[in-house]
């Protein structure tokens, strides 16, 4: 899968899960221990490639598994 498509799909799913949890971007960032919800926005728009530690923090803050954010399709 093309990198940009992966990032866009990941971001779209992140936004859906964040909304399902009833959290704003700022509230999710706070739960993750980072200072700016703006970073969450760049991930949701597929503009940035989050680090593994950021992905883990997202999963823990939302209490979800990785497959909620992305399912690999060949």
pLDDT at 2: 87
Q: Is the pTM of this model over 0.85?
A: yes
Whether the predicted pLDDT of 74 surpasses 90: no
What is the rounded distance in angstroms from the CA atom of residue 66 to the CA atom of residue 74? 17
Instruction: Provide CATH code, domain 3-67.
Output: 1.10.260.40
What is the rounded distance in angstroms from the CA atom of residue 34 to the CA atom of residue 72? 28
What is the rounded distance in angstroms from the CA atom of residue 37 to the CA atom of residue 69? 18
User: How does pLDDT run across 27-48, given as a tens digit for each residue?
Assistant: 999 999 887 778 899 999 999 9
Where along the chain do its domains lie?
3-67
């Amino acid at each position: 899968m093309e990198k940009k498509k992966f990032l866009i799909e990941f971001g779209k799913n992140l936004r859906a899960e964040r909304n399902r949890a009833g959290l704003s971007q700022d509230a999710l960032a706070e739960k993750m221990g980072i200072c700016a919800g703006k970073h969450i926005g760049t991930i949701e728009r597929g503009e940035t490639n989050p680090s593994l530690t950021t992905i883990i923090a997202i999963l823990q803050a939302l209490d979800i598994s990785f497959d909620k954010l992305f399912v690999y399709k060949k």
